[in-house]
Structure 1
């Protein structure tokens, strides 16, 4: 599904990020923020000062990829166009969010580096970008605050605007409110991670 408000070169990044976030149950705005922050392109190899390279759309470091070789994952796999690198990034973010220490943002920033001086800079920019993407998602999708048990899914802004101007034909039956997932083991500081609601789940 193309998003007409995004330039064509961002379509794959957004679609793949959202798909991967849903698949790996990671807040979609965090995956989108990491994808934007990394800013890679298919086929791109960026040489680092330590002799390693950052590869592909999600800029996987070749040192990290060395650890994944036992699973058959290569640098060429993550350099390719398509959603594979986004899926792998969401899987990796899920591991950081679930297993690392610190608040949500420190854990998500571990995608870039666990070294505190690098993590704190990446973390600050990641939070800023995630807020922007959260607003973008809220305007287009049903989302839910994953930090609050029993949170009611939001209605996209665009749908609210249409609902306010549309004539009422009949009163619809009350919709069942889906059960919220339990709050994750993270804390937030002035930000709410968003989970997309797909097919009522």
Structure 2
């Protein structure tokens, strides 16, 4: 009997570049989030509030009901690396868009909204955005397979 679960598909550099372009977010931020989340395709991490994060971009399960309206399933978020990256870029774009005015013109607001990708709680937000910023600066050229379990296309 065949295995009903779909095969895991890794993250490739072109997935990151395409998602950054499509959702108008800096590609370096996506790499920073990938390195900060430090998880892999098919992996879940349980949170203290009962939800869980999925895949390389750490997509929280609380987003599943919203994503269902777009026809995106839990399996796609968890097991498809490119879909996971696209969803993460979409969420990040929404967080950055929530800022009134131009977030890029206000660095503090910009980074606060980057932190909102993970948590709106000030302490966790601050820690998260600091890690993302550090990784985005330091690890932009780090091999993707070390960041998200992906490989070369």
TM-score by length of 2: 0.72
Gaps of 5+ in 2: 1-9, 101-107, 143-153
* 1:103 counterpart = 2:109: yes
1:12 is paired with a residue of what secondary structure? coil
In the other structure, the counterpart of 2:74 is 75
8 A Cα contact 1:39 1:57, kept in partner:
yes
Contact 2:55 2:81 in 1 (8 A): no
Picking from 112, 119, 123, the partner of 2:118 is: 112
Question: Which string of whole-angstrom CA distances, capped at 9 and with x for unpartnered residues, describes residues 10-53 of structure 1?
Answer: x8354322221122211110111011111221111222222211
8 Å contact 1:55–1:78 — kept in the other structure?
yes
For residues 169-180 of structure 1, what are the structure 2 equivalents within 5 Å?
none
Tell me which protein shows more helix as a share of its residues: 2
1:58-117 alpha-carbon deviations (Å, 9 max, x no partner)? 111111222322222222110113311111111111111122365211111111011111
Q: CA RMSD in A?
A: 2.1
CA–CA distance in 1 between the matches of 2:25 and 2:13? Answer: 14
Q: Distance in 2 between matches of 1:39 and 1:75?
A: 19
Query: What corresponds to 1:156 in structure 2?
Result: none
Counterpart Cα distance in 2 of 1:56 and 1:75: 10
1:13–1:35 Cα contact (<8 Å) kept: no
Quick one: structure 1 residues 38 and 14, their matched pair in 2 at CA, closer, same or farther if it must change by over 3 Å? Answer: farther
TM-superposition CA deviations, 1:96-143 (whole Å, max 9, x none) = 112236521111111101111110110111111111245x39xxxxxx
Higher relative contact order (CA 8 A, sep 6+): 2
Q: Which residues of 2 match residues 21-170 of structure 1 at below 5 A?
A: 21-100=20-99, 103-133=109-139, 136=141
TM normalised by structure 1 equals 0.56
What is the aligned residue count? Answer: 126
**Consecutive unaligned residues in structure 1, runs of 5 or more:** 1-10, 138-201
